[in-house]
Structure 1
C-alpha cells in the first residue's frame, strides 16, 4: 500500500504473511447473526462464510514503519524467519519480510527504534535474525523498546505460554545481551511529547503488559493498537474472549474503550492483523462498531 501521511508523519506497511485459522477456534461464541452483520461491510472471499463453522479468521501479519522528524520507528516485528516454534504454522518460516521492508524504502540499518506493543511471538520475531548460527539484532542501529511488565512476565516462563517463551529466548534476550534493548513503563514517551510525537499507553489484558502506540505530528492522530483488536468480527463481538487473551475481561473492556475513542475522535487506525490496506477508521454502528479501510 502507499504510505499514509498525517501532518509531519508518514506511515508505511511492511507485510510478512497471511495466516488463516478457524474463526471459532479463536473466538468461540460468534453466531450466524454476527456474521450477517459483519458481511454488510466486510466479506472477504475464501474467509467469511454465512456459517461461523466454515469461517476463517485470517490474520494479516505486518509491521508499521513511522517516519517522523528524521526518525524511523518500526512498530511490531512479526514472526521472523528460521525460528523453532511449537505452532506448526509459524515454525521455521522463510518469508520475504526483509524484501518487503526494502520495497517500502528501508534497509534494516535505517531503523532507529523498534517498539513492540507486547511480547507475543508474532510481534517480536524479526527483532533478531540468524547469522552464523547465532541470533543477532536485525536492526543493528535501533534502540529496542520493551515493556517492563511483559518482559518480567515472559522471562519467568509462565505456564501455558510456551510459544511466547520460545520467542522470548530467541527474539528478546539476544537484543538485551547486545545492549540494544530498553525496558520501559507503559506510559513511556518515545519521541518528543504526548500529543506531538510518539508515546505508549497502557492497554493491559491481551497480555499482562500490553500497550498501544499513539502518534501525532501536526496532523490527525494515529493509533497502532497491536492486538487490542485482531479481526473485524471483534467490532461486533468485542465481549467475547479471544484465545490468546491473558485477562479476557480486561481485554474486552480495553477493546471497547479503544474502539469508542477511535470512532468518536476519528483516529487513523493501524491494526496489527487486519488484511487489505489494514489502516482505516472505526465507525459506530448502533451498539456495535464497523471499520472503513483506507483505499489504495
Structure 2
C-alpha cells in the first residue's frame, strides 16, 4: 500500500476498487502513436497499442493525509450500497472502511474531508447506510465543499448528469443537513498558510468548480490532481479531453498549464485514478513529458 512521507507530511492511499474500461470511450481521440509514446515509460505492460482494443485501467482510491496531528481524507470514492445508473458502480460492497482501519484510523479520527470535485466517484464514502438513512461516515470531521461545484450540482442544470445527481442526493445533501459542511472558495487556505499547510487552487473545466488540493510541511510539495489527470496518456497528450469533462477546452488548458508548472520540480503528484499507487513526478521528455513513479530509479546520465 502506498505510503509517502514528504518532510512532516504523510500521505497514504485507501483503495476501493480497480476498473478497466475501453480507453477510446474514456479518452476520445487517442491514437496509436499516443499509445506507442506512452508505452515507452508506462508501467502497465498489458497496454495495447490499438486504440480500438486498449483498456483504460483506473483505480478508485482516497488519500489519507496527516499533517500537524490532523487527519484529512481527500476524495471519498463511491461508497457502498448506493443505487447508481452506472452498473459498475451500482450497490458496491467494498472493504474501503476496513482498509482505512488497517491504517490505524477510525472514521471518528478524521478531522477534515476535502474534494477535488463532486463527481459520483469522489463523494460516495461521505455517508454510510444506517437502517434506511444515509448518515455521515466521519461524524467529527468538517466536510469542505467548493462553492462553485456545490452550486452547480444543486441546480437543475446538472440534472442531465444523472449518476452525479444520485451521488449528490445520498452523499452530499445528508452532510449539508447534518451541519457538517464548510463551503469555501476554490482558492481557500484550509490549514496553515498557502505554501506551508493545506490549500486549494482553482482548476475549472472538468467540472465547474474543479480544484486541486495542495499540502506541504517541511518537504517537497504534494499536489492532489483529481481528474485533471485522469489517465497517464494525458501526460503524453495534455490536449486529450475525457468523456467526463464538462468544458473540454478549459480542462485541456488547465491540464497543460499544470504539467508545464510542475515538470522537473520536486512536486509529487497524487492522481485520483492512476494504477499502482501511482504517486510520482512529471518530467520533461524531449518535446513532451513523462511520469516517473516515486521510488522509480531515473536512468543513468549519459
**TM-score of the two chains, using structure 2 as the length reference:** 0.95
- Superposition map of 1:153-232 within 5 A: 153-157=152-156, 158-232=158-232
Q: Distance in 1 between matches of 2:289 and 2:140?
A: 40
Identify the residue that residue 113 of structure 1 maps to in structure 2: 112
Identify the residue that residue 68 of structure 1 maps to in structure 2: 67
For the Cα contact (< 8 Å) 1:266–1:282, is it kept in 2? Answer: no
Q: Distance in 2 between matches of 1:17 and 1:106?
A: 19
1:288: how far off?
Answer: 2.0
For the Cα contact (< 8 Å) 2:13–2:63, is it kept in 1? Answer: yes
Q: Deviations over 1:232-280 (max 9, x none)?
A: 1111121122100010001001111111112142201100000002101
Identify the residue that residue 248 of structure 1 maps to in structure 2: 248
Taking structure 1 as reference, are residues 183 and 216 closer, same or farther at Cα in structure 2, changes over 3 Å only?
same
Taking structure 1 as reference, are residues 235 and 152 closer, same or farther at Cα in structure 2, changes over 3 Å only?
same
1:160: how far off?
Answer: 2.5
Q: Which runs of 5+ in 2 are unaligned?
A: 297-302
What SS does the aligned partner of 2:226 have? coil
Q: Which runs of 5+ in 1 are unaligned?
A: none
Are positions 1:236 and 2:222 aligned together? Answer: no
Worse-superposed segment, 97-106 or 243-252: 97-106
Identify the residue that residue 127 of structure 2 maps to in structure 1: 128
For the Cα contact (< 8 Å) 2:280–2:291, is it kept in 1? Answer: yes
Q: Distance in 2 between matches of 1:15 and 1:43?
A: 18
Q: Distance in 2 between matches of 1:148 and 1:287?
A: 37
Q: Moved runs in structure 1, 4+ residues, more than 6 A?
A: none
For the Cα contact (< 8 Å) 2:159–2:165, is it kept in 1? Answer: no
Residues matched between the structures, number: 295
Q: Distance in 1 between matches of 2:122 and 2:144?
A: 12
1:193: how far off?
Answer: 0.6
For the Cα contact (< 8 Å) 1:277–1:295, is it kept in 2? Answer: no
Q: Distance in 2 between matches of 1:195 and 1:128?
A: 31
Identify the residue that residue 142 of structure 1 maps to in structure 2: 141
Q: Deviations over 1:11-57 (max 9, x none)?
A: 111000011110000111111111111001015144x1021111111
